C-alpha cells in the first residue's frame, strides 16, 4: 500500500462547513504530512480559506459542486434532491472510484449512511452496516457499536458487530484479541431479549479466533471499561451515546458552578485545577470524535456536526489510521476465519430449537 493516503472531505458538511473543515484538515496535516486531500464542495467558498493554509493548499485538490445536503434533511429527501451532485455523494463516490482512500464528513448522519450504503454497498457476508465510536472509560478507551446505523437485529447481526468491532479495536486500541461484551439488562444468561441471548450463546460456544467473549455487560460497564468492545443495536446504542454526552455536559456545568460559588471554592480550584484539567481533557468529546461506518465496502468516517477544527482533525486522524492499518482487510480476514465457526454454531443451535 502506498505511503500516501488520500482523504476525501465533504467540505460543505456539518454546522460550519469549510470554516471548520479546512482548518481541521490543516491541523491533521501538521501531524500527518503524508496525507493528500480531495476537498469536495463550493470552490468559491473553499478557495479563499485554502489560501490561508499554504501547506494544505499544496496537498489539496478541489472538486467543485455548489450542492450540499442540509443537516435536517431526511435521507430519502436528500437522495432524491441531490443524489450524485452533492458534496457528500461526490466525496463518497471518490472512494468507490479509487480517487480517495477514505471519506470524512460532518454532515447529516442519516444521509451519509444512506448514500454510503447505496454507493459503496456492504461487504460480502454483512447484511447491515453499523456506526462504531470510541468511548472514554476509567481504563482508557473502548469501542461501542452500533450507535445509530440500524435498529434491532437478529443474533447473527450481533455476532457480525462483535467481529467488526474487534477488528477496529485491534487498530485503535492495539490489542491482538480484544474482549467483547453484549450490552444487556443484566449479566445473567437468562436475562434479555431472545436475539441477545442467542447471540451470547453463539459467541460463547463459537470460540471465535479474533475476539474474547466476556458475556453480558450492563450500562455502567461502558464507562468502567469492563470490555474492549461493547456490542448493541443502533437504537439502544444511540440513546447510550447521547445520554453519556449529556451527562458529561451536565457534570461540567455543575463543577463550574461549584468552583465559582464562593471564595473558598475558588481557592480550592486553584489547588485542584491540574486534576480538573485532566478530567476535562479525558472527557473532551473532540478527542474521540469520529464514528466509523463498519460493514461497508469502503472506509467512511462521520464527524460530529458541531465540532470545531480540533475535533474534525481527530476525525481525519481516525480515517487515516483505518486506512493505514487496512481496516477492510482485517474485517474480511476476521469474517473468513469465523465463517466455519458461525455456520457450525448456528446449525447446532437450530438443531436444539
Domains by residue range for the chain, with CATH: 1-120 (3.40.718.10), 127-287+326-353 (3.40.718.10)
Q: What is the mean pLDDT of residues 287-297?
A: 90
pLDDT at 210: 86
Which cell numbers in the block locate residue 233? 443495536
Average per-residue pLDDT in the chain? 88
- Least confident span in 165-169, 262-266, 316-320: 262-266
Angle between helix 87-96 and 109-120 (nearest 10): 30
Tell the burial category of 261 from Cβ atoms under 10 Å away from its Cβ (0-12, 13-18, 19+): exposed
pLDDT digits (tens, 9 = 90+) for 184-207: 999 888 888 999 999 999 898 887
What are the start-end ranges of the H helices in 32-154? 43-50, 54-58, 75-81, 87-96, 109-120
Could you give the 3-state DSSP secondary structure of residue 135? strand
Q: What is the mean pLDDT of residues 158-185?
A: 93
Instruction: Give 318 or 139, the one with higher predicted confidence.
Output: 318
Query: Does 283 have pLDDT greater than 80?
Result: no
Query: Does 230 have pLDDT greater than 60?
Result: yes
User: Residue 333 — φ and ψ, nearest 5°?
Assistant: -65, -45
Q: How confident is the model at residue 2 (pLDDT cuts 50, 70, 90)?
A: very low
Instruction: Find cell 500527518 and name the residue.
Output: 32
Which cell numbers in the block locate residue 317? 486522524
Q: How confident is the model at residue 1 (pLDDT cuts 50, 70, 90)?
A: very low
Instruction: Give 146 or 84, the one with higher predicted confidence.
Output: 146
In what helix (H) or strand (E) does residue 196 lie, and over which residues does it extend?
helix 194-206
Amino acid at each position: 500500500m502506498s505511503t500516501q493516503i488520500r482523504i476525501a472531505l465533504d467540505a460543505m458538511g456539518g454546522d460550519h462547513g469549510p470554516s471548520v473543515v479546512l482548518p481541521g484538515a490543516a491541523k491533521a496535516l501538521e501531524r500527518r504530512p503524508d496525507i493528500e486531500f480531495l476537498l469536495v464542495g463550493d470552490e468559491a467558498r473553499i478557495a479563499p480559506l485554502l489560501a490561508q493554509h499554504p501547506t494544505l493548499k499544496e496537498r489539496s485538490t478541489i472538486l467543485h459542486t455548489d450542492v450540499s445536503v442540509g443537516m435536517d434533511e431526511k435521507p430519502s429527501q436528500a437522495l432524491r434532491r441531490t443524489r450524485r451532485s452533492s458534496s457528500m455523494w461526490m466525496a463518497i463516490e471518490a472512494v468507490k472510484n479509487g480517487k480517495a482512500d477514505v471519506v470524512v464528513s460532518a454532515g447529516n448522519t442519516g444521509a451519509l449512511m444512506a448514500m454510503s450504503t447505496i454507493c459503496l454497498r456492504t461487504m460480502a457476508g454483512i447484511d447491515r452496516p453499523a456506526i462504531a465510536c470510541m468511548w472514554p472509560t476509567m481504563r482508557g478507551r473502548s469501542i461501542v457499536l452500533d450507535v445509530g446505523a440500524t435498529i434491532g437485529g437478529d443474533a447473527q447481526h450481533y455476532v457480525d458487530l462483535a467481529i467488526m468491532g474487534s477488528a477496529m479495536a485491534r487498530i485503535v486500541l492495539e490489542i491482538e484479541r480484544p474482549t467483547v461484551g453484549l450490552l444487556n439488562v443484566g449479566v445473567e444468561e437468562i436475562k434479555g431479549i431472545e436475539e441477545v441471548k442467542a447471540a451470547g450463546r453463539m459467541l460463547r460456544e463459537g470460540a471465535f479466533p479474533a475476539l474474547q467473549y466476556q458475556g453480558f455487560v450492563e450500562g455502567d460497564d461502558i464507562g468502567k471499561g469492563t470490555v474492549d468492545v461493547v456490542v448493541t443495536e443502533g437504537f439502544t446504542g444511540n440513546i447510550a451515546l447521547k445520554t453519556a454526552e449529556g451527562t458529561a455536559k451536565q457534570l461540567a456545568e455543575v463543577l463550574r458552578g461549584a468552583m465559582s460559588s464562593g471564595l473558598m471554592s475558588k481557592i480550592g480550584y486553584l489547588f485542584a485545577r491540574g486534576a480538573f484539567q485532566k478530567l476535562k481533557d479525558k472527557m473532551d468529546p473532540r478527542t474521540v470524535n469520529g464514528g466509523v461506518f463498519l460493514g461497508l465496502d469502503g472506509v467512511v468516517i462521520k464527524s460530529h456536526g458541531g465540532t470545531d477544527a480540533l475535533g474534525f482533525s481527530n476525525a481525519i486522524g481516525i480515517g487515516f489510521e483505518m486506512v493505514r492499518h487496512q481496516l477492510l482487510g482485517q474485517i474480511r480476514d476476521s469474517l473468513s476465519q469465523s465463517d466455519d465457526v458461525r455456520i457450525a454454531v448456528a446449525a447446532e443451535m437450530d438443531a436444539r430449537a
